[in-house]
Amino acid sequence: MIRRTVMPVASLAAGAVLLLAGCAGAPEAKSEAAEPDARFPVSVDNCDHDVVVESAPERVVTLNQGATEVVLALGLGDRLAGTAYLDDAISERWAAEYEKVPVLAEEYPTHEAVLEAEPDLVYASYASAFDKGVAGDRSALAGSGTASYLSPFGCPEEDQRPDPTFDAVWQELHDVAALLGEPDRSQSVVAEQRETLDAVSEEAAGAGLTALWYDSGDKTPLVGGGLSGPQLILDAVGAENMFEDVQRGWGEGSWEDVLAVDPDVIVLADASWSSAAEKRAYLEKDPVLSELTAVQEGAFVTVAYSESTPGVRMVDGAAAVAGQLADLGLQG
């Protein structure tokens, strides 16, 4: 198995050498041919793990939707040899490109299914992707010639994870683009996202509004806290997150606090396991919560779950919230 994994790299290298030999005199040709590969080796420090890539990865396997979408956003879908595990659906803008990539499994593929895809880079959003039964330990992968990258937000240890910021999201894009040997790609994607974000901030559609970010749960709501994608999005649109003082990504809120604050607007996360419609129906049916001003006035905003977690789609989430807030025309 190990030999098979190394094969494409080896044959590529061999091919390059043959090509060189055919072209010109050895010494000059060598330095000339090395030119396009001047970007390599690339090494990136990732969750206290040194990722070293010797040549452009051509068979990337992405696990988890976030990782898949980063590669697609960079316009490098043709490098994907396989992908697995969606949370909801790939953003429409990349759907066509995604269709061309083999899906290894609905959720996590087995270890053998990962090896069968012969990846030279495994890129995942969550540490669980490197469990034994899935892609396997990262050092072991490196030993058999497969590099790996884990989204910094998914690092196994909490102190390895960056605070969620747009800059941290963009750093991941830069890392991945560098590992794939296309650093320019992330520059242009980030520039575009920065522009969208600036426009959203300028518009400040949520100025003066207090918002509840209602992720899931009914008996006690799971809400977006102060260290979360929702916080960044609400900051961007100029609204106040009523649970900003919950110092974590997602945390349990209390309906008592929600009643006491009576937020101007409720943002509903839309996920396959907890749809926005379901949550809205619950709020409207509950004898107490239905008396909230936002519920009475239908001041709801809906955001796809994958646009609400720190990742390449979070800017889309901010734009979606801004657009819907503007449509609601609430007075802060």
Nearer to another protein, 203 or 262 (CB): 262
Q: Determine the interface stretch with another protein among 62-70, 232-240, 285-293, 317-325 (rule: CB under 8 A).
A: 285-293
208 to 235, 237, 239, 277: CA distances (angstroms):
11, 10, 6, 26
The number of residues that bind another protein (CB under 8 A) is: 30
Is residue 255 a contact point for another protein (CB under 8 A)?
yes
Cβ closest to another protein, residue 76 vs residue 258: 258
Residue in 251, 310, 311, 317 binding another protein, rule: CB under 8 A? 251
Q: Closest distance between another protein and the C-beta of residue 273, in Å?
A: 4
Point out which span in 38-46, 53-61, 269-277, 315-323 binds another protein (CB under 8 A).
Answer: 269-277
Q: In degrees to the nearest 10, what's the CA dihedral of 62, 63, 68, 74?
A: -40
Task: By CB under 8 A, tell whether 128 contacts another protein.
Answer: no
Distances (CA, A) of 28 to 19, 25, 35, 38: 13, 6, 11, 15
Closest approach, Cβ 224 to another protein, in A, equals: 13
**2, 10, 34, 281: residue in contact with another protein (rule CB under 8 A):** 281
85 DSSP assignment: -
* CA–CA distance, 309 with 55 (Å, rounded to integer): 31
One-letter amino acid for residue 220 of the chain = T
Closest CA to 193 of 321, 319, 66: 319
If the CB atoms of residues 202 and 245 are measured against another protein, the closer one turns out to be 245
Cβ atoms 228, 267 nearer than 8 A = no
Of the two residues 57 and 253, which places its CB atom closer to another protein in the complex? Answer: 253
Nearer to another protein (CB atom), residue 129 or residue 190: 129
What is the sign, positive or negative, of the torsion defined by CA atoms of 313, 314, 320, 323? negative
Sole binder of another protein in the list 116, 203, 240, 257 (CB under 8 A): 257
Q: Which stretch binds another protein (CB under 8 A): 43-51, 61-69, 201-209, 251-259?
A: 251-259
**3-state SS, residue 1:** coil
Is residue 121 within 8 A of residue 60, CB to CB? The reply is yes
Scanning residues 77 to 116, which ones bind another protein (CB under 8 A)? 87
- CA distances (Å), 97 to each of 180, 233, 297, in order? 17, 27, 40
Is position 48 an interface residue for another protein (rule: CB under 8 A)? no
Interface map 137-176 toward another protein (x if CB under 8 A): ----------------------------------------
- Beta strand ranges found along the chain (DSSP E): 42-46, 49-53, 60-63, 80-84, 103-105, 121-124, 147-150, 210-216, 222-224, 240-241, 250-252, 265-270, 300-304
The single residue among 139, 188, 220, 293 that binds another protein, judged by CB under 8 A, is 220
Calculate ∠ Cα 272-155-106, nearest 5°. Answer: 35
State the residues that interact with another protein by CB under 8 A: 87, 216-220, 222, 246, 251-257, 259-260, 271-274, 278, 281-282, 285-288, 291, 305
